[in-house]
Each structure stands twice: as C-alpha cells, then as structure tokens.
Amino acid sequence: MALLISEIFCLLLIGLTASYFRRAHQGREALKRMENLAAKKNGRCLSEKYVNASTKLKWECEKGHSWEATPNSILRGRWCPTCDGSKRFTIEE
C-alpha cells in the first residue's frame, strides 16, 4: 500500500512538473510573439512575464509613450492611446 501511494505521488509530481514547464514555455513563446508584434509597430513590449491574453502588459510606442494594455487589444489593432488621441486624462494632467 505504501508503495502504491508513493508511486501515485511520483506520477502526480511528474505530471505537475511537466504541466508547469509546458505553461512556462508557452508563456515565453507568447511573450516573444508580443515583442515581435510591438516591433512591427516600431514599439516595444516592456513586460517580462506573460500570464494570458486578458492580463495587461506594459508597452512603449516609438515616441516613448508607455501604457498598459491586454494582448487581446493589441492583437485587435489598438496601439498607443496617447498617439491615437484616445488616452483619458485626469484633472491633474
């Protein structure tokens, strides 16, 4: 019985480890795609970690404006809110 529990634990651990590395690899690949997308717009993706398409990343346009936006919005064609005039300003600004 103890051997069976040990074997099950090992299999679970192997599965969790494989899943972790697979997600980490997919995150690095997705971040690389975001960096390439930004480069096509003469900008940069400043984030170092990709979570998912709905989690905001930090971006910088060719004029040096920086903002946060989701990968989904960038993939839909949105870019720098300051350059395109859609940035919302506060009273202080």
Q: Give pLDDT tens digits for 21-77.
A: 466 557 789 999 999 999 999 999 999 999 998 999 999 999 999 999 999 999 999
**Three-state secondary-structure class, residue 42:** coil
How many CB atoms lie under 10 A from the CB of residue 88? 6
DSSP at 76: T
In a domain, 81, yes or no: no
In a domain, 92, yes or no: no
For residue 14, what pLDDT is reported? 61
Boundaries of domain holding 52: 2-75
In a domain, 88, yes or no: no
In a domain, 90, yes or no: no
Is the confidence at residue 16, as pLDDT, over 90? no
Is the confidence at residue 19, as pLDDT, over 60? no
In a domain, 93, yes or no: no
For residue 41, what pLDDT is reported? 94
Is the confidence at residue 13, as pLDDT, over 70? no
Number of domains within the chain: 1
